Amino acid sequence: MRRDVFQAIADPTRRAILALIALQAMTPNAIAEHFDSSRQAVSKHIQILAECELLKQEQNGREIYYHLNIKKMKEIDKWLEQFRNIWESKFDNLDKVLANIKSKRHDK
């Protein structure tokens, strides 16, 4: 089953895991130490993020380290960019309306 990346990042615990791993690669145990959840619950979150290709794993001896998949994060950012442009345009228009209202008040 292929998971939806946006459903994956909708969960606050998974977003927190991504934020942790963005700083440095971590083992599942190191990640789990940052949460009050069980190790199994954190492992499930890691599994979902890996299935969505947001995390990559690397074997180093007996340990598995998880890294942020920058390429996948850039794909998400690129998709969001279209909406960011729309929002910025609307905010720019709102700024113009507010400036116009403010100048009319000062003219009175």
Beta strands in the chain (DSSP E): 55-60, 63-68
Cβ proximity of 11 and 45 under 8 Å: yes
Helix, strand, coil share of the chain (percent; to 5): 70, 10, 20
Domain assignments of the chain as residue spans, ordered by start: 5-68, 70-108
Residue 108 has a pLDDT of: 65
- Is 85 strand, coil or helix? helix
Q: What is the pLDDT of residues 25-71, one digit of tens each?
A: 999 999 999 999 999 999 999 999 999 999 999 999 999 999 999 99
**Does the 5-68 domain belong in CATH 1.10.10.10?**
yes
Q: Rounded CA gap, 18 and 90, in Å?
A: 30
pTM > 0.85: no
